[in-house]
Structure 1
């Protein structure tokens, strides 16, 4: 009978299969340090990128605020200019009104008398003045006389903006009337430009 010892072969095979590769003890810390340094470098790059973007945004915001400040200054100056312009226009208008009122009583009565003298069969009863507006009341012998008086007022060149006259018959040959108009003295003509001397000098 032949006997084979199988247990010894199995032990040798198992021993061969259980061979392990061992690493140096210093390799693991170096690998960990490399990983940590890699993460640190990536974090620093990411932080630097964010810091650069933040600085760029901050600069743009400052530029925008500077432009807004300039625009606000321009708008404020324009508003001041417009308000001063309006004040000057009101002042000029007031001065013109005062000048007109200063000459109105004398000149108005003179021109009114001129219109009455040029109209037959018309007499005045009252005259009221409110700034530049005149209310004239009187009596005429006919509608035609009242119409002629208004036309003569207009022809003086000092009375304008006539309202429709009110005329009512007060008797056989008497017609009361009231005329409302504005007294506007004509503006003085601007001096004519002097002709240029011969030769263009």
Structure 2
């Protein structure tokens, strides 16, 4: 129940709530598991080939009278296109998600600086201002996107070697770019001269 008597459900996929409506005298646990339609929508939003076994569970723990610590675990199995072959690559994602929602947040990007190069990037990216409302779906989606491989690659994927050169000359190969390749070439020319 919230302070004003309305029930707050943290276990509803996509529902928004206000942290200020949670009782600051106890921990609030949640478990989110989307149904097939919600899973399909999220898969399409994230541009994934496949998404299954998604579970986001954790707790909001009072950090002070107004601040909240989120400690959660996100698990999912995703399929992405291989960057080399476009074949599906399946990855299991299991990540810990931690956030501190605080009323004392000072955003360095909003600080007045004469030069943009003076703006400092915060060292702790888990600290955020208390939002007007929070949607756990957004937190789970962000954590999932950050955990995905940037360049998924199938274990047997190999890029074919492509050679480009001017007409009448030999193409430079990967072997030629290795250290001592020019010495090898010189040795080969000297041996042909014998």
Q: TM-score, normalised by structure 1?
A: 0.18
The structure with the largest alpha-carbon Rg is 1
Q: TM-score, normalised by structure 2?
A: 0.18
